[in-house]
Structure 1
């Protein structure tokens, strides 16, 4: 997936979003999404790279548990045939839940 395709998919999730972070003081009220590409895995042989899998993390932030918003994000990922791993954490300093979707695209 290209950055443009990921951006279009993020728009379908119907939440404010940004790449990596929002500018200081511009973070919207929850729920909101962040996405980033923290790395890349490559398949290679004989000193040639045959394919590259970009890591993609989508972070959903909510101020209370929101299964409806999670389901909307997950439905969009399924529609795009994206396999993901999901984890959840409470960020005490921000008083927000973070649901992390990790995948390769």
Structure 2
């Protein structure tokens, strides 16, 4: 899977989605939670024979909610599982924003 397919997968969940952040304007304000943000985090390419042998891109998929939302979490997790994308999951309470942040870290092999 590559980044365009990851976008399509996340978009199919049905929550508002942006790469990096929502650009809020008076005409188009940022959505209310729950919403998804995804972005490239770092490369973990496999090296061999003095070159990048296999591209491994690590992405973060971030779910933001106002409350602990197990239904929204299950939507994201079911989509990742259906696409056979193993993930690790962490959670943070963003007190200044009054939101929860669930971070799913995934690897895309080959892009």
TM-score, normalised with respect to structure 1: 0.94
Match of 1:79 in 2: 82
> Are residue 94 (structure 1) and residue 97 (structure 2) matched?
yes
- 1:63 corresponds to which of 51, 61, 66: 66
The answer to whether 1:2 aligns with 2:5 is: no
Aligned positions, number: 105
Aligned structure 1 segments of 4 or more residues deviating by more than 4 angstroms? none
Deviation of 1:49 after TM superposition, in Å, equals 1.7
Deviations 1:65-84 (A, max 9, x none): 11011001000000110010
Superposition CA RMSD, Å = 1.0
Unpaired runs of 5+ residues, structure 2, are none
Deviation at 1:48, TM superposition (A): 2.2
1:24 paired with 2:24, answer yes
TM-score by length of 2: 0.90
Partners of 1:70 and 1:29 lie apart in 2 by 16
The answer to which structure, 1 or 2, has the higher relative contact order (CA under 8 A, 6+ apart) is 2
